[in-house]
Amino acid sequence: MDQQAGTLSATAHALPDPRVGVGVLLVDHRQRVLLTLRILPPEAGCWGIVGGKLDYLESLEHCAIREAREEVGVDIAIQSLLCVTEHRLPGEHQHWISPAFLARILGGKPANCEPEKTQEVCWFPVDDLPPNLTMTARNAIEAYKQSSEL
């Protein structure tokens, strides 16, 4: 910090700020989880849970509901907060704080509504998941398995 001006130096501003990304674990009655295959960083080429960036002054729950509608075309009801992942990816210059909610689908059929960001949207049995899961997906699914929801 520049002691005379009371401001941060230009070097400090060159670093990206941590961001908040809200995730949603959707589980159906057959104990399958809905995952999306990411095209864009962070963790491009990995399967993740539904979710996205928190907008300014948006609540975490509203973000989860909005992202489910935008990303996979479903209306959801939040059931519980599963976990919070501190997601640090220095190689990608990414740092995210990512709460993940458990939710159920109220309406709509899951589909890929953002093909520019998502390659594929698929249901997977909770005990037969692809190996290339994002950190947030791994943590949310593990928290779900450990919860009394199963």
Domain 20-146 coded CATH 3.30.565.10: no
Taking the CA of residue 26 as centre, how many other CA atoms within 13 Å lie in the half-sphere pointing to its CB?
A: 29
* C-alpha span between 85 and 100 (Å, rounded): 8
Residues of the chain with pLDDT under 70: 1-13, 148-150
pLDDT at 7: 44
* C-alpha span between 51 and 60 (Å, rounded): 11
